A and B are shown apart, each in its own frame.
Chain A
Amino acid sequence: MNENQFDIRIENTSLYYGSASVFKQITHYFASKAVTSVIGPSGTGKSTLLRTFNRMNDRIEGFRATGDVWVGGQNIYEEDIDVYALRQSVGIVFQKPCVFPKSIYENVIFGIKRLQPERKKEFADLTEQALRKVSLWTEVKDRLNEPGLSLSQGQQQRLALARTLISKPDILLMDEPTSSLDPRSARAIEDLILSLKENHTIVLVTHNIGQAKRVSDETIFVCNGEICESGPAEKLLENPCCQETRDYLNQGR
């Protein structure tokens, strides 16, 4: 198996906050152009792991990563990495939809307006493409200049996704993207995840086992600073082999 065909590979990676370690020597190859869901008890560092892949943890005092973290062919914790370019090719969507107090259009182009100002002429087209990808275009095409905050929570989350997709990232990180949404909006996001995996490698942190079953191809279960178990989502969620996984899955029933 050629390791370069994986968009995200971690090898002997340890993550620390100060002297406390969050993960010890974990290794995993994330399936490309597929959805990998990360599940596990609260406080085990699922978000920390996710945010390692676009170095969003850099902002946190005391955070440290050792070992190799390969993302899109680069070992991203090496010194000469352009973190800002990395974050454009590794998009992230957070738990709570975050829409800036600006128009819908300004929200979609928020990043590229500042990072790729030379492409100004394409912005209108790119906006349409991005909004179509998140199935928001027909809903908002006549009101692009209205405030982004006038949209519903579910629409706001799709808007946030469009804002990320406009810079055409290969990888999408999703940190419990539906946990603050109503069930219908959550379903809409799940449908999007399924349609986006054709062209994107997606890592999804979720507490919702049903969601993990519905959208993911692979699942990893993290607990006590390690990856206890990983494998095809269906097998791991239906028939886990590790005791911790079984206990965790049983809690929800």
Chain B
Amino acid sequence: MSRFADIDFFHWATFAMALLSMTLGVGIVAYLFWEGGPFIWNHGAQFLMGLDWFPDEEYGAAPMIFGSAAVTFLALVFSTPLALASAIYTSEFLDPRQRLTVKGIMEILAGVPGIVYGLLGVSLLSVWIRDVFNLVDGYTLLSASFLLAIMILPTIMTLSEDAIHSTPAEYRQAASGLGLSKMEILFSVALPHATPGIAGAILLAIGRAMGETIAVMLVIGGLDRVPEPWYDVFSSGQSIASKLGREAAETLGFGEHWSALMALALILFFLVMFLTAFGNWLIKGFRK
């Protein structure tokens, strides 16, 4: 009798904890909607396309949206070729032990806190960029892009490597038996097999780049404007995440300024959630 009572208790206790976790997750999303949703609803295009952000006067999110898109895009452009080349080398040319060492290092790098990258960005990267390009200071969209490129490199590299390495040995063997060289096997067997996984890796990296706050905040310059001309990467800028990081403490958790920030957070949340979910789906889906 008592044994069954124990099991009952265990059942209900774990159920309650599971329910609490679920509620927290759903609650956070609901809260974001509650706080930020009406602001987007009420201001619509004026908010999304607006170019100026003056608290208590007007709230235009375009510079932040532009900033996030620009630094993420550039980070990918810098990072992806490098990451893919290293992934190919690691998967195809290293022996199993060397491969695991490289992957171990990459996974450690992927776990380094953003603030550490941020500090390196301030002390080294932004100084180099200032000197190399002869700028007044090194806090630019380009600096943030470079820093993000370094931060997402291990993610793209190690997940792409997994995808390439998971090409079934039978495929390689069959292709090799037909007389294909290692290079041809890579391009006509391994890479096609790995494409969904590589795409997933890139999406996860985009998610990480979009959400990265402190490192970007430290080097992007913090200027709420779309550069003039728009492709001037040597200009200072602002991303959604860096804007939130910079201003969240200025508001008191209510009022219009707060609602505008929550609206930005809602946009960021949905972008990152979508990218991460889709990226994970690609990575897991193709492994089946």
Tell me the A residues contacting B by CB distance below 8 Å.
54, 56, 59, 61, 84-88, 91-92, 94, 96, 98, 100-101, 110-111, 114-115, 160, 163-164, 167
Stretch at the interface among B123-131, B154-162, B168-176: B168-176
Query: Which of B176, B178, B189 has the most chain A CB within a 10 Å cutoff?
Result: B178
A-B contact pairs, 6 of them (CB 8 A): A85-B179, A94-B173, A111-B175, A114-B188, A164-B177, A167-B178
Interface mask (B170-201 → A, CB under 8 Å = 1, otherwise 0): 11011111111100100011000100000000
A167–B179 CB distance below 8 A: yes
A84–B181 CB distance below 8 A: yes
Judge if B95 is at the interface, Cβ distance under 8 Å.
yes
**Residues of chain B lying within 8 A (CB to CB) of residue A94:** 170, 173-174, 177
A98–B170 CB distance below 8 A: yes
A114–B173 CB distance below 8 A: no
Tell me, in angstroms, the Cα distance from A87 to B177 when the chains sit together. Answer: 6
B177–A92 CB distance below 8 A: yes
**Residues of chain A lying within 8 A (CB to CB) of residue B173:** 56, 94, 98
Question: How far in angstroms is the closest Cβ of chain A from B250?
Answer: 54
Tell me the B residues contacting A by CB distance below 8 Å.
95, 170-171, 173-181, 184, 188-189, 193
The 8 lowest CB-CB distance pairs between A and B, nearest first, are: A111-B178, A87-B179, A88-B179, A98-B174, A92-B177, A98-B170, A84-B179, A114-B184
Main secondary structure of the interface of A (DSSP, over half): helix
Query: Which of A88, A114, A167 has the most chain B CB within a 10 Å cutoff?
Result: A114
**Residues of chain A lying within 8 A (CB to CB) of residue B180:** 84, 111, 114-115
Tell me, in angstroms, the Cα distance from A61 to B95 when the chains sit together. Answer: 10
Tell me, in angstroms, the Cα distance from A105 to B70 when the chains sit together. Answer: 43
**Residues of chain A lying within 8 A (CB to CB) of residue B174:** 94, 98, 100, 160, 163
Tell me, in angstroms, the Cα distance from A85 to B170 when the chains sit together. Answer: 20
Question: How far in angstroms is the closest Cβ of chain A from B97?
Answer: 12
B178–A164 CB distance below 8 A: yes
Q: Who on chain A is nearest to B96 by CB?
A: A61
Partner of A56, one of B95, B177, B188: B177
B170–A56 CB distance below 8 A: no
Tell me, in angstroms, the Cα distance from A100 to B174 when the chains sit together. Answer: 9
Query: Which of B177, B180, B184, B188 has the most chain A CB within a 10 Å cutoff?
Result: B177
6 A-B pairs besides A56-B173, A110-B188, A114-B180 with CB distance below 8 A are A88-B179, A94-B174, A98-B171, A98-B174, A160-B174, A163-B178
